[in-house]
Structure 1
Amino acid sequence: MKHLALYLLAFWCYISQTQAEFFTSIGQMTDLIYIEKDLVKSLKEYIKAEESKLTEIKSWAEKLNQLTHISTSDPEGYLGHPVNAYKLMKRLNTEWLKLESLVLQQTSDAFIANLSIQRENFPTDEDESGAGKALMRLQDTYRLDSESISKGRLPDPTHLRAQSNLHYFKNFLHEEGQSDQPANEDYYQSQSKEEVYMRPENYLTERDSYESLCRGEGIKMTNRRRGRLFCRYHNNNNHPRLIIAPMKEEDEWDSPHIVRYHEMLSDAEIEKIKELAKPRLARATVRDPKTGVLTVANYRVSKSAWLDDDEDPVVNRVNQRIEDITGLEVDTAELLQVANYGVGGQYEPHFDFSRKEEHDAFKELGTGNRLATVLNYMSDVPAGGATVFPDFGAAIYPKKGTAVFWYNLFRSGEGDYRTRHAACPVLVGSKWVSNKWIHERGQEFRRPCGLTEVD
């Protein structure tokens, strides 16, 4: 056992130096479940071997205890029998050495060997710390009391929806009397957009709005505006592939216009995309606005992978479907990005498009700015994980197999700063998404330029 303790001490020192970030992807964390199961099996085998060894040692001890009781009661009389004298010599010269070997036998060798193999896949101190911070983030964002979260009593989806509805009805009468113009649009059009969104004093206001929307509060959708939202069959002006099987299109927001496409991905397609992406998942990065270099950031907790268009028929088919539905050229788009969010996984408010101060953000691509975003939801999320837009108070909830679409740029090429959005922390479940960022080049005749800045 002394050897085992020393080995475990060295083992824990070693794993603290290995690569971390298991906590950033639930999909990869599932591997740890099977690693632990294998170690438990190995540990049980070790315990069984130890118990067998102890049983044999106890048998020796009981037998020798009886012999020594007899021999010590009359040592000379006992040794007066030649057979007893011979057996004593034999026991001390041979059998006690066998017992020594039995006691020193390392039945834990198989367990230690397995532990040594598996340790390279273990999480590190950084993972434990990251998971702890994630719990604190969930507690803060969703206003959970310490007792509830420590005992695992977390709200379900109906809780979040109920909060949303309650807030909506409380504000219904007040908002019905206001202008029919969508919230913040007048203010947006009359201000310098870079100044409005980049002022440091606006961060806390945006943070409060972001977290409120994550909780299902503060959604700015009046009945009048809701009446402008419709569901329809979408064939994109009689596109050949959509005439017979049009897409189910649902308005999620009026201005800026955000739509959801139902049955965008089948379960089989989703599983194939996850299968292709999982071995390549790596910590998601963001572009430093000052240097333009991709870097890891604490405000984006997820892992992602990029899938080439032609590496599998499923990826090619999904890309073609995106082009058919949006009517936009995808040859100049970025590769399909697949992301899986970890414990408390989130992506705080950000823009998909590059701003004026980011001159070389997409220079290496040579395809212009990110014109539009297609976000595929590849899993249901029992609680949390909504896509929210703090500027105009929208919250869009994940629904497996659907996709949401919006434009990041006006027809003039100017960025629509209202589209600053965030991925709320995942409270319960594993969130899988994939997205396609469609760029400006190739859209000259598919989405012609407008005549004013906000066309």
Structure 2
Amino acid sequence: MTDLLFTEKDLVNSLKDYITAEESKLEQIKKWADKLDVLSAAATQDPEGFLGHPVNAFKLMKRLNTEWGELESLVLTDVSDVFISNLTIQRQYFPNDDDQIGAAKALMRLQDTYQLDTGTISTGELPGSSLAASHRSVLTVDDCYDLGKVAYSEADYYHTELWMVQALKQLDEGEMSSTVDAVTILDYLSYSVYQQGDLERSLDFTKRLLELDPTHQRANGNLKYFEYQLAKQEKMGASEEAQTEETQRKGRPDDYLPERKKYERLCRGEGLRMTPRRQSRLFCRYFDNNRHPKYVIGPVKQEDEWDRPRIVRYLNIVSDKEMEKVKELAKPRLRRATISNPLTGVLETAHYRISKSAWLGAFEHPVVDRINQRIEDLTGLDVTTAEDLQVANYGVGGQYEPHFDFGRKDEPDAFEELGTGNRIATWLLYMSDVQAGGATVFTDIGASVWPRKGTAVFWYNLYPSGEGDYRTRHAACPVLVGNKWVSNKWIHERGQEFRRRCGLQETD
């Protein structure tokens, strides 16, 4: 996205050069036209007298034989060649339709997760945004209409209605549009509201449409149909329960994620299950991992984030210089993040994980090796059997919905090719602050952990017995404002046999 921003800046400069060249060309043509306008006006007053002068006769011949040809060449000269060539080269890096649709869905995802109304998004006044009002982007009527169309194409009539209503509102307030009118918007609105079961509002929108365009064929047909359906309901004497049922049909479409509401509440910082009594047992401390030689004199700061399961945060664990180096190494390799299909085991992209990631091996740069060693020193776990350091970037709307880091019993082959057992623990390093959104939330226990640059959180995914701890189900909330960089280390079972011993009880 940053590269695209600079690409657009280069194209604007190229466009300005083209405009300057075009203006220069038009200025030459205008001077020629003005000069000949004066000359021909005087000559046609007395053609014979004018042509009686031999110089005038010669110059007329010369102009028509030579100079008009030169003017023709000037007019036909295409000064846009450089701009068109530059545009053609850069176009191969432009976003495509899928990218634009993805960005539209991201806005709707943020709208739902953080309970933002369309007016707030349209004016750009998002919570946490530090942009000055003069630099804040707003959504035009056309933008709102396009968002509504994306929702409509997905049969998401709930969001279609919200964005078409916003587009209509901005039109009613006097905003102009060159591509869409109220009739088109009302047509979408009428149908999307009908699909949600609200016949009365569908009828109202249809009537308003017909006031603007009485000949609209589809609206005239819908008008009769909606009136017939409403009359049918009245004859049947619709009960209050039936009306309540209709009301319940409205709202967001059915969801594949049963814990959606809980997840989104935690993303907003609501629904936390930490009681004051439990909170009083959480501490911060200087930590040296049982007098580890590296940290006896300079222990690190450690904070308890949660008690059951235990989640701790290490502060100032990586320097700004180290984090910038990790980002620099990862950027050229960032690719759309994938998940392992639980049925096939094949890596594939998924709509519930929107981010870009790259993998860095310890051998690639001393800074990666140092970070790996630091993780081993502080956790006491062997990282030689761990996965490479994964660096992930979540842009606006980037997220990873609730998931487990470890392989469950129904995924016996999840990490078989690695030969290092299951993921025993997760180390998550935050490499940027996030202006709004972007929390890591644990849906089962009701916990939210917020990004703080230079800090890392750590938790065990497995009990000492090797059984998965289902309380560690977690998610990366959508980034509302800002940019989220993280790197994570998944530590595996092999090599930990004498570092994290099994208990004497099978239930441990």
Bin for the TM-score computed over the shorter chain: 0.7 to 0.9
Q: CA deviation at 1:202?
A: 11
Unmatched segments (≥5 aa) in structure 2 = 131-253
Structure 1 residues 256-310: Cα deviation after superposition (integer angstroms, max 9, x where no partner): 0000000111100110000000010000000100001100000000000000111
Match of 2:170 in 1: none
Contact 1:263–1:402 under 8 Å retained in 2 = yes
Matched, 1:116 2:88: yes
Q: In the alignment, which of 32, 35, 45 is matched to residue 4 of structure 2?
A: 32
Question: Does the C-alpha gap of structure 1 residues 114 and 157 become closer, same or farther in structure 2, counting only changes over 3 Å?
Answer: closer
Q: In structure 2, what residue type is equivalent to 1:67?
A: L
Matched, 1:104 2:76: yes
Secondary structure in structure 1 of the residue aligned to 2:294 = helix
- The equivalences for 1:46-125 within 5 A come to 46-125=18-97
Contact 1:306–1:336 under 8 Å retained in 2 = yes
Matched, 1:43 2:23: no
- The equivalences for 1:381-420 within 5 A come to 381-420=434-473
Q: 1:56 & 1:290 partners in 2: Cα distance?
A: 70
Question: Does the C-alpha gap of structure 1 residues 365 and 325 become closer, same or farther in structure 2, counting only changes over 3 Å?
Answer: same
Matched, 1:312 2:365: yes
Q: CA deviation at 1:113?
A: 1.4
Structure 1 residues 306-332: Cα deviation after superposition (integer angstroms, max 9, x where no partner): 001111111000000000000000000
Contact 1:277–1:305 under 8 Å retained in 2 = yes
RCO comparison, higher one (Cα < 8 Å, 6+): 1
Match of 1:262 in 2: 315
Matched, 1:229 2:201: no
Q: 2:288 & 2:329 partners in 1: Cα distance?
A: 30
- The equivalences for 1:280-359 within 5 A come to 280-359=333-412
Q: In structure 1, what residue type is equivalent to 2:427?
A: V
Q: CA deviation at 1:343?
A: 2.3
Contact 1:259–1:406 under 8 Å retained in 2 = yes
Q: 1:157 & 1:230 partners in 2: Cα distance?
A: 32
Q: CA deviation at 1:353?
A: 0.3
Q: CA deviation at 1:452?
A: 3.9
Contact 1:350–1:422 under 8 Å retained in 2 = yes
Contact 1:414–1:454 under 8 Å retained in 2 = no
RMSD: 1.5
Structure 1 residues 71-115: Cα deviation after superposition (integer angstroms, max 9, x where no partner): 222222222211111111111111011111111111111111111
Matched, 1:271 2:243: no
Match of 1:171 in 2: none
Q: How many residues align?
A: 385
Q: CA deviation at 1:124?
A: 1.0
Secondary structure in structure 2 of the residue aligned to 1:359 = coil
Q: 2:256 & 2:39 partners in 1: Cα distance?
A: 84
In terms of mean alpha carbon deviation, does 70-79 or 52-61 score higher? 70-79
Q: CA deviation at 1:429?
A: 0.2
Q: 2:505 & 2:124 partners in 1: Cα distance?
A: 53
Q: CA deviation at 1:203?
A: 6.1
Contact 1:334–1:436 under 8 Å retained in 2 = yes
Match of 2:156 in 1: none
Secondary structure in structure 1 of the residue aligned to 2:491 = strand
Structure 1 residues 226-283: Cα deviation after superposition (integer angstroms, max 9, x where no partner): 0110111111111111112211110000000000000111100110000000010000
Secondary structure in structure 2 of the residue aligned to 1:330 = coil
Q: 2:365 & 2:378 partners in 1: Cα distance?
A: 20
Contact 2:358–2:390 under 8 Å retained in 1 = yes
Contact 1:292–1:361 under 8 Å retained in 2 = yes
Secondary structure in structure 2 of the residue aligned to 1:147 = helix
Q: In structure 2, what residue type is equivalent to 1:210?
A: Y
Match of 1:140 in 2: 112
Match of 2:124 in 1: 152
In terms of mean alpha carbon deviation, does 149-158 or 349-358 score higher? 149-158
Match of 1:239 in 2: 292
Q: CA deviation at 1:57?
A: 0.6
Q: In structure 2, what residue type is equivalent to 1:101?
A: S
Instruction: Give the alignment's TM-score, normalised by structure 2.
Output: 0.74
Question: Does the C-alpha gap of structure 1 residues 285 and 453 become closer, same or farther in structure 2, counting only changes over 3 Å?
Answer: farther
Q: 2:486 & 2:453 partners in 1: Cα distance?
A: 9
Q: 1:157 & 1:43 partners in 2: Cα distance?
A: 31
Q: In the alignment, which of 99, 108, 112 is matched to residue 127 of structure 1?
A: 99
Match of 1:371 in 2: 424
Secondary structure in structure 2 of the residue aligned to 1:241 = coil
- The equivalences for 1:175-254 within 5 A come to 205-254=258-307
Q: In structure 2, what residue type is equivalent to 1:81?
A: H
Q: CA deviation at 1:157?
A: 9.1
Q: CA deviation at 1:451?
A: 3.5
Contact 2:314–2:457 under 8 Å retained in 1 = yes
Contact 1:379–1:400 under 8 Å retained in 2 = yes
Structure 1 residues 178-207: Cα deviation after superposition (integer angstroms, max 9, x where no partner): xxxxxxxxxxxxxxxxxxxxxxx9965411
Q: In structure 2, what residue type is equivalent to 1:30?
A: T
Structure 1 residues 197-228: Cα deviation after superposition (integer angstroms, max 9, x where no partner): xxxx9965411110000011000111100011
Q: Percent identity?
A: 71
Contact 1:414–1:453 under 8 Å retained in 2 = no
Contact 1:371–1:407 under 8 Å retained in 2 = yes
Q: 2:335 & 2:117 partners in 1: Cα distance?
A: 33
Q: 2:78 & 2:506 partners in 1: Cα distance?
A: 77
Q: 1:319 & 1:46 partners in 2: Cα distance?
A: 52
Q: In structure 1, what residue type is equivalent to 2:24?
A: S
| Runs of 4 or more consecutive aligned structure 1 residues displaced over 3 Å after TM superposition | 201-205, 451-454
Q: 1:79 & 1:214 partners in 2: Cα distance?
A: 87
Q: CA deviation at 1:46?
A: 0.7
Question: Does the C-alpha gap of structure 1 residues 149 and 420 become closer, same or farther in structure 2, counting only changes over 3 Å?
Answer: same
Q: In structure 1, what residue type is equivalent to 2:476?
A: A
Q: 1:51 & 1:264 partners in 2: Cα distance?
A: 58
Contact 2:129–2:481 under 8 Å retained in 1 = no
Q: In structure 2, what residue type is equivalent to 1:433?
A: V
